[in-house]
Structure 1
Amino acid sequence: MESTTRKRGRPPLFDRDHALAAATRLFRAQGYEATSIAQLTAAMGLRAGSLYAAFGDKKTLFGEVVAVFECSPVGGFVHAALEDEPTALGAATRTLRDAAALFTSPDTGERSLTYESGSGAAIRDAEVAQMVQQLRQADVDAMSRRFVRARDEGELPADADPEMLAGFVATLLHGLAARAAEGASTAELLAVADLALASWPAGSAR
């Protein structure tokens, strides 16, 4: 007869990917500042000591969450648009349209970490704020490189400023995120994006 006595020893290993996904959902829904260790341990199914042992402190955990998130289709929506769309205007349009849908998603756990981190509240931790800013700057740099190529290929006029255009799109992203946090609808954000892109410079390439 098999013994039903629970064997002593080490507890079963936790599912790291599952725990990280739970932390990601929580950070995406509430932002870094509003998320507490107690909330994280409850969502991840870990005790505080186990969380610290597996992921380090809250800041380190957030860094890992963001690194994984940026490689996901949602987190990498800017880079996906730049790589998939055949024109710079198409990439800028898709970026803003995807952002409008993402920022107004009814499921706050499915929103952006880098453009909405903090759910509208400023990140007070300087290191975390710098981390998020660097990720946003990486998007700007990628857009600038794509727009340089568009200018070289004649899609943009020779006097177009790729860095300025990248900053233009980045500013729109920040504005759309801010308006979404204030309750703007997807339709409103799409209309704003279309209005802004009406001023996009045209080159000679067809």
Structure 2
Amino acid sequence: MCRRQDGIALVVTLVMLVAVLMLAASAAGLALMGEKAARAGRDRQVALQAAEDALMDAERDIEEAGADRAALLAGPAAFGPGCGTGAALGLCGPAGDGAPPAWQAVDLAAEGASVPLGHFTGAAMQTGEGALPMRRPRYIIERQPYRRAGEEAGGMPRYYYRVTAIGFGNREGTQVVLQSAWRRPGD
């Protein structure tokens, strides 16, 4: 007795093969998404570290400034509307009453308004290869008045510096902006 098979085994095998293929394709997609997420996380960490380096460079700029730069940092004239150039590069003030603060109005990534890392301090940073930032981080400095608790409101205010830095990741589009307040000892 020979029974004729209607090819059902072939159909079942093809359905199982398609199911296994779909599982493999979805596993490969998940693996690729995980790799992309890990790469983006690493890229953000590179940008964060670069921005932190720029904050430290700005603090060195404030603390160890040469005579010309120190005079500019001490006086209000360099912190006028917009950002300075030359020896006053990166020293920024508000555009006027009711205008946003300089750190919101300035394109931190652009040349000409912000200070690239090492411009005034001589600090070096490698860029553009492997796990390094695409370009050097940049920063601006704003001079802000404050008063200590218990001081008279009509007296001369003291000043601190608000430093805003931008760091770049391995890709140009990855950017991290950090901000710190820096006060000279004794102020």
TM-score (norm 2): 0.25
Which is greater in Rg? 2
TM-score (norm 1): 0.23
Flag the structure with higher strand content: 2
Flag the structure with higher helix content: 1
